[in-house]
């Protein structure tokens, strides 16, 4: 049972344009969501998070939107840069906070073309 | 701050053998979680250790076991290796009292079973 789904395995975007990465979840008990970025040969690094009491959280070029009724979240990167090329995972803790068991999506490979 | 360190970075084992992977958490962190990431998949939670005890466990067989030491470092042991155990094994550390603090990941150990 895939509780967190990322249906786009890959995305290609031109440098300077917007990248939109999508994530859907099925468990209505999820109340906190995180995005991680992963470069080859490195571990995932935390990017941005959002609590279910909010519908938007912004940090520099990165914004995460949460639509609870649709059980959908998206990560917007504006403007996209070649260094953003990586695999992006959305994740949610099964209960409590992010220090608990995280359920990850399968990831989206973002390629930003110069 | 050295962050989360894992050893070794790469490992090749024969089917049926046993393997031990090691993790040192980020300074100030008391909780260690282990994840398995198969090719093309998101990380899957194996288990979590806090105060030297297994606190949560994912859907992995008993061949997977772990340990946490008084200095918070941790080991993951896998017995009777199968070809399907080939994956990237990630260690993540966090502070249990930081409910919405993110988990920090190491670079992983790439295990190949032949």
Kindly report the nearest CA distance between residue B38 and chain A, in angstroms.
10
Kindly report the nearest CA distance between residue B89 and chain A, in angstroms.
10
Sheet holding A19-25, edge to edge: A4-5, A19-25, A72-77, A62-67, A56-59
Q: How far apart are CA B33 and CA B17, in angstroms?
A: 23
**B74-78 vs B53-57, strand pairing mode:** unpaired
Domain with A68, as residue range(s), is 4-106
User: For A61-65, B33-37, B43-47, B93-97, which range has the lowest pLDDT when averaged over its residues?
Assistant: B93-97
Q: How far apart are CA A66 and CA A23, in angstroms?
A: 10
pLDDT at residue B99, rounded to an integer: 64
Q: How far apart are CA B53 and CA B22, in angstroms?
A: 16
Question: What's the rounded mean pLDDT across residues A34-38?
Answer: 96
Question: What's the rounded mean pLDDT across residues B82-86?
Answer: 97
**Is A21 inside a domain boundary?**
yes
Which of B4, B100, B104 lies closest to A97 in CB terms?
Answer: B100
Check whether A99 has a pLDDT greater than 70: no
**Is A114 inside a domain boundary?**
no
User: Residue A41 maps to which CATH number?
Assistant: 2.60.40.10
Q: How many domains does chain A have?
A: 1
Which residues in chain A touch residue B100, judged by CB atoms under 8 angstroms apart?
32, 49, 51, 97-98
* Interchain pair A106, B41: CB under 8 A: yes
* Interchain pair B45, A101: CB under 8 A: yes
Give the tens place of pLDDT for each residue, B30-57.
999 999 999 989 999 999 999 999 988 9
pLDDT at residue A97, rounded to an integer: 54
**Is A111 inside a domain boundary?**
no
* Interchain pair A89, B42: CB under 8 A: yes
Q: What percentage of chain B has pLDDT greater than the value 70?
A: 96
Q: Which long-range contacts (CB under 8 A, 24 or more apart) does B75-79 make?
A: B75/B20, B75/B21, B75/B22, B75/B23, B76/B20, B76/B21, B76/B23, B76/B34, B76/B46, B77/B18, B77/B19, B77/B20, B77/B21, B78/B18, B78/B19, B78/B21, B78/B111, B79/B18
Domains of chain B by residue range = 5-113
* Interchain pair A102, B106: CB under 8 A: no
Q: Is the minimum CB–CB distance between B25 and chain A shorter than 8 Å?
A: no
∠ CA B52-B9-B87 to the nearest 5 degrees?
80
How does residue B1 score in pLDDT terms, banded at 50, 70 and 90?
low
* CATH class of segment(s) B5-113: mainly beta
| A contact set with B (CB within 8 A) | 4, 6, 9, 32, 34, 36, 41-46, 49, 51, 89, 91, 96-107
* Interchain pair B94, A102: CB under 8 A: no
Find the closest chain A residue to B36 by CA distance.
A104
**Is A63 inside a domain boundary?**
yes
Check whether B100 has a pLDDT greater than 70: no
A111 three-state secondary structure: strand
Task: Please provide residue A82's backbone torsions phi and psi, each rounded to the nearest 5 degrees.
Answer: -55, -35
Kindly report the nearest CA distance between residue B114 and chain A, in angstroms.
21
pLDDT at residue A1, rounded to an integer: 65
């Amino acid at each position: 049972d895939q509780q967190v789904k990322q249906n786009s395995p890959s995305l290609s975007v031109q440098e300077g344009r917007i990248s939109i990465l999508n994530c859907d979840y099925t468990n209505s008990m999820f109340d906190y969501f995180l995005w991680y970025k992963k470069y080859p040969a490195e571990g995932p690094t935390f990017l941005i998070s959002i609590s279910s009491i909010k519908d938007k959280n912004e940090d520099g070029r990165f914004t995460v939107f949460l639509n609870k009724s649709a059980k959908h979240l998206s990560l917007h990167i504006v403007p996209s840069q070649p260094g953003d090329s990586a695999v992006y995972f959305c994740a949610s803790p099964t209960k409590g906070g992010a220090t608990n068991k995280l359920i990850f999506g399968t990831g989206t490979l973002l390629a930003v073309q110069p | 701050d050295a962050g989360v360190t894992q050893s070794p970075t790469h490992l090749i084992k024969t089917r049926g053998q046993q393997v031990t992977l090691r993790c040192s958490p980020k300074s100030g962190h008391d909780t260690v979680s282990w994840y398995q990431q198969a090719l093309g998949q998101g990380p899957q939670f194996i288990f979590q250790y806090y105060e030297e005890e297994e606190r949560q466990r994912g859907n992995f067989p008993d061949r997977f076991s772990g340990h946490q030491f008084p200095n918070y470092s941790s080991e993951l042991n896998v017995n009777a290796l199968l070809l399907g155990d080939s994956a990237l094994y990630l260690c993540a550390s966090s502070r249990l009292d930081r409910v919405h603090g993110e988990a920090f990941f190491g670079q992983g150990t790439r295990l190949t079973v032949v």
